[in-house]
Structure 1
C-alpha cells in the first residue's frame, strides 16, 4: 500500500490568463514547483495574447463566493492568495470569505486589476473605485501584501491610497492593517534593485533582485503565489519571502518569449 504524502494546499483567487503568463494556470504551476497544490476560484476570463489584453469577462460575486465556499467546505487549505479582481462586488465577496476564514494566512497581491470591460463606466473612475475597495476591504485582512515599488509610489502620489502621514509606503499599508508588506523592485543604485520585507515591528529585510528582462509582466504575482505556497508549508514569513523571491528571480532569469509580445517567466526553472 502506498503511504499518502501530505501536500499543502493553497486557494488562489484570480483570472484565467490563456497565455499562461499569469493568473490561475501560472499559479498552479508555481505551487506544484514548490511542492504544493493549488485549488482555485476563478474571478475572470481574459481574452488576450502575449502582447495585450483585449477584454475581460468577469465572474459574478455570487459565482466567486460559490466556488470558494464549495472548496473550503471540502478541502483543508493552509494559505490563500488573492490576485486580480474585476469589480467592487467581487472584492466584497472575497473579503467576506477572508473574514470567515481569518485563521488562514492571506497573501494579497496588489497588482494591475483586471477591469470589467462589460460595464459602461469610465475606466479611470472604475479603476479608482476597484483599488479603493481592495485597499479598504482586503488590505486590513492581509497577513502579507505584495506590491511593486513603482505601483505603490504611484498610488500614493496620485492619492489613490493615502499615506496617512507615513513617509514609507510599507508603513502606509501597515497603517491600514496589513501585518507584513513585501515591496518588489525597489530601486537602489543604478542597475540594482531589491525586494524589501517590512514586519509588524517595522523591521526590514532586503534581498537583492536581478533586473527583469525587458518586456516581462509585473513579477509580483509570481512572488505572491510562491510566498503563499511556502506559507502553506509552514514556513515563517521572512523565510517564505526569502525563498519566494529567490524562486521568482530564477524563473525570471530563465524567461522565454513564446509569441510576439511579452516574455514569460519559466515557473519550473531548468537546473543549471
Structure 2
C-alpha cells in the first residue's frame, strides 16, 4: 500500500492552533502523513500575534527541494505567504509538481478585517499561485479582496462570486461563509461544472482559532488519500464542523482557543 502523504507550506503558530501545527494535526486526524515547509515563524498565542519572523525565500526553496527530492508527496496545501518574494519562491518550487492536487488557502484578511497582504503581494498571488491551484479556499472577505468587490452579505451573493474567482485561473473554488449572519454556515463549492451548497449548523463558541487552516488541510489530506474533490470537501466540512463543536471541551489559553482536531480520539 502507498502511504498517503500531504505537504503543508505555511507559517508556524507557536500557540499550536493554526498554521503548520493545525495542518499537521488535521493531516494526522484524517489519515495522511504530514510534511512541512515553514515560510514564517510567529510568536503567537490564543490572544493574538506578538511577533513575526519571515523565513528567507532561498531557504523556503531549500525546504521544498529537500521534501520533493525524497518523499512522494500526493497533495499540497499552501497557507499564508506574507511577502512577494516568498510567493515567488513557492511558485518556482512547485513548477514540477503541477500534476498533484494543490490547495491554496489565500490568507489575506485578519478576523478584525485588516489586510494581511499588501497589494503587490496580492497581485503576485493572483498571477503566480492561483493559476497553479486545484482548489482555492477564500473566506468571503478574501474572495471580495481577490475580486475587488464588496463583501457578500448572503450565501446568494457568495454564489455569484464563484465563476469570477474561477476566471483567475484555478480549477475549483470553495468560498467559505462562516462569517455570514445566516442561521446556517454555508460554504459554496464550484468545480467548474457543478455548484455545491455545503451547509452546517452554526456553532456558538469563541474557540475557532485555526478553522480555515484546518479545513483546507483536511481537504488536502483527503485528496492525498484519493478522494474526489467534492467528496474531499464534503468530508472535510463534516470534520471541521465536529472539531468546532468539540472545541469547548479543550481548555487552551485565555483567548480564542483552537478547534479540537482529535475529538474522535481524546476523552
Q: TM-score, normalised by structure 1?
A: 0.85
- Higher mean C-alpha deviation, range 24-33 or range 74-83: 24-33
Residues 128 and 15 from structure 1, CA distance in 2 versus in 1: closer, same or farther, beyond 3 angstroms?
same
Task: Say yes or no: does 1:57 pair with 2:53.
Answer: yes
Match runs of 1:42-81 below 5 Å:
42-81=38-77
The one of 185, 192, 195 equivalent to 1:200 is 192
Quote the offset at 1:129 in angstroms.
1.9
Q: 1:182–1:196: 8 Å Cα contact kept in structure 2?
A: yes
Aligned twin of 1:90: 86
Structure 2 match to 1:263: 257
State the Cα deviation string for residues 154-189 of structure 1 (Å, max 9, x = none).
553468xxxxxxx82221221010111011126778
User: What is the Cα deviation at residue 126 of structure 1?
Assistant: 5.5
Aligned equivalents of 1:269, 1:42: Cα separation in 2? 26
Report the CA distance shift for 1:180/1:218 in structure 2 as closer, same or farther (over 3 A). Answer: same
Which residue of structure 1 aligns with residue 212 of structure 2? 220
Residue pair 1:139, 1:176 contacting (<8 A) in 2 also: yes
Counterpart-to-counterpart distance in 2, 1:242 and 1:269: 18
Distance in 1 (alpha carbons) for counterparts of 2:135 and 2:233: 10
Distance 1:147 1:82 in 2: 12
Query: With CA pairs under 8 Å and 6+ residues apart, which has the higher RCO, 1 or 2?
Result: 2
Offset of residue 76 of structure 1:
0.4
Give the distance between the partners of 1:196 and 1:124, measured in 2 at CA: 23
In structure 2, distance between residues paired with 1:132 and 1:211? 33
Q: Is the 8 A contact 1:186 1:196 kept in 2?
A: no
- Structure 2 residue aligned with 1:99: 95
Query: Using the alignment, how far apart are the partners of 2:161 and 2:201 within structure 1?
Result: 22
Higher alpha-carbon deviation: 215-224 or 228-237: 215-224
The SS at the match of 1:90 is: helix
Q: Matched residues in 2 for 1:179 and 1:63: separation?
A: 29
TM-score (norm 2): 0.87
Structure 2 counterpart of 1:139: 130
- Note closer, same or farther for the CA distance 1:155–1:176 as it changes in structure 2 (3 Å cut): closer
Kept in 2, the 8 Å contact 1:8–1:78? The answer is: yes
**In 1, are the aligned partners of 2:210 and 2:258 still within 8 Å (CA)?**
no
Q: Which segment drifts farther, 6-15 or 144-153?
A: 144-153
Other-structure match for 1:118: none
Q: Please give the alpha-carbon distance, in whole angstroms, between the structure 2 residues aligned to 1:248 and 1:124.
A: 25
**Secondary structure of 1:223's partner?**
helix
Contact 1:65–1:93 (CA under 8 A) maintained in structure 2: yes
| Contact 1:9–1:78 under 8 Å retained in 2 | yes
Secondary structure class of the residue paired with 2:240: helix
Separation of aligned partners in 2, 1:113 and 1:102: 27
Task: State yes or no: 1:178 paired with 2:170.
Answer: yes
Residues paired across the two proteins, number:
254
How far apart are the structure 2 equivalents of 1:71 and 1:106? 15
